[in-house]
Amino acid sequence: MKKKLNILFVTAEMTPFAKTGGLADVAGSLPKALAELGHDVRVVMPKYRLIKGDFEYIADFPVQLDQSVETCIIRKTEVPYKLKGRKKGLKVYFTDSYRLFDRDGIYGHFDDGERYVFFCKAVLEMLPAIGFKPDVIHCNDWHTGPICLLLREKYTDDKRYNRISTLYTIHNLEYQGHFSSHIINLLNCSYDIFDPEKAEFYGMFNFMKTGLVYSDAISTVSRVYAEEIKTQQYGERLEGLLQRRSEDLYGILNGLDYDKFDPETDKLIEKNFNVSSTGDKKLNKAALQKEMGLPCRDVPLFGLISRLSGQKGLNLVIDRIDEMLSKDIQFVLLGTGDEYYHVRFREITQRYPGKIAIHLGFNPQLAQRIYAGSDMFLMPSRFEPCGLGQLISLRYGTIPVVRATGGLAETITDYSGDPENGNGFSFADFSADAMMDAINRAIHVYVNDPGEWERIVIRAMKQDFSWNSSALKYDELYRHIIDKRING
């Protein structure tokens, strides 16, 4: 039997506690899938003010930041999950600091650099306090990069730490955490690390880069994105480094929590349905139309749920919104983000009442009803490391219309190119023309061939994008890097 591993999963967000995007969903589901394989998995994240609960006090200790000392309090809770039908609890630890984290929101504070240095140091200092000896620390996105650096620059002589392997996962290369070199003081490291081969990046300290340089292996959330980020187009100026680390760079597709996202049991939607009762999707559609103030008509209903940022290709939608809405379709948008998009979509909604309805905010409950009630789901992303929206849509029989990039290219097979296996509609060029062509192809099948549409819906719902196979790939990768560190 394979040895069970001790895995520490480090993240800045995790459902159900704090979420701005897909990282939270991954953190909320991958550790459970790994625990189901028999591993001892613990998660650690910052305690933001918005996280409420009566958590168990575990320990407190000082964390040194340059010349000053900040107190860290560790609290713990358990998130329930099922293992072979039996109820279990996933241990989640919170690092708490009144000065740095007891504030509104998650990111976007002037001192985010200092906040996440504190987090990284607290995570490492916490290990003896909670009595956990990880075989591997799995770091995620820029907030956690310095953990990889600290282990190799500060803890090499410490037996409790120097056998720990690190995996660093990129969920989005665009957000790198650039701060001035004062971060080196906060890390209490020597300025030797302010070197282009290490943490320096165009005169700044780059958190993401520390993860990429110092980790034992790097992964990202789809095979296609793992290839794309080695190119200038997608590499965000780190493509050279990623090319150099190519042998240690892996692409493992995100899975979806199939218990949470299940149209058969989802309590948030109007009418539960499964692959044998796809007709009931219509009831969810009618309920969504009513909720959003759209006329209850059987016309193609497009859903879009997204952070409103440049990455998501919303400018293509805005460019062609008049053409789109001149067709007999409806459009529901849920999102929050850049003010520019809020202004534009508000203005569009005023011009097209009864055709487009928007909700500018973060609303996971409404999101479920949009996934369940829409016919198509639009994701014209400029880049998309994995994308969860298309996976949730497939599960709810809502057909994705996507730009073929990153995880979207890996999970969506274009119906027009492959009618036997198609589970969506995709386009390659990042252009409004190409997007409109895919939208038109989807509308054409929906309107002219309902029987074929139904077959696509059923095929989409039958696909398996659960964690089953991806969790095994992480298992294999952890063992590989542990073996490499111990046996060289």
Among residues 254 and 330, whose Cβ is nearest to ligand ADP?
254
* DSSP H/E element including 456: helix 450-462
Q: Which of 187, 201, 198, 208 is nearest to 142 (CA)?
A: 208
362 lies in the site for ligand ADP, by CB under 6 A: yes
CA distance 46 to 41: 17
Instruction: Report the residue from 349, 363, 431, 440 that binds ligand ADP according to the rule CB under 6 A.
Output: 363
What count of other Cβ atoms lies within 10 Å of the Cβ of residue 159? 7
Q: Torsion over CA of 457, 463, 465 and 471, rounded to 10 degrees?
A: 170
H-helix segments, 216-357 = 223-228, 239-244, 281-291, 314-319, 321-325, 339-351
414 lies in the site for ligand ADP, by CB under 6 A: no
| Residue 415 backbone zone (phi > 0: left; psi -120 to 50: alpha; other: beta) | alpha
Site track for ligand ADP across 121-160, x = CB under 6 A:
----------------------------------------
Among residues 48 and 225, whose Cβ is nearest to ligand ADP?
225
CA distance 31 to 9: 7
Contacts with ligand ADP: how many residues (CB under 6 A)? 18
Question: Dihedral sign, CA of 124, 128, 134, 135?
Answer: positive
Query: From the CB of 174, what's the least distance to ligand ADP, in Å?
Result: 9
Site track for ligand ADP across 304-343, x = CB under 6 A:
-xxx--------------------------xxx-------
The footprint of ligand ADP on residues 453-482 (CB under 6 A) is: none
The footprint of ligand ADP on residues 157-196 (CB under 6 A) is: 172
SS3 state at 362: coil
The footprint of ligand ADP on residues 2-31 (CB under 6 A) is: 21-22, 25
388 lies in the site for ligand ADP, by CB under 6 A: yes
Among residues 253 and 388, whose Cβ is nearest to ligand ADP?
388
Instruction: Report the residue from 229, 288, 367, 438 that binds ligand ADP according to the rule CB under 6 A.
Output: 367
263 lies in the site for ligand ADP, by CB under 6 A: no
Among residues 93 and 261, whose Cβ is nearest to ligand ADP?
261
b/e map 40-70, b = 16+ CB within 10 Å: bbbbbbbbbeebeeebeeebeeebebeeeeb
Q: Which residues bind ligand ADP (CB under 6 A)?
A: 21-22, 25, 172, 305-307, 334-336, 362-364, 367, 386-389
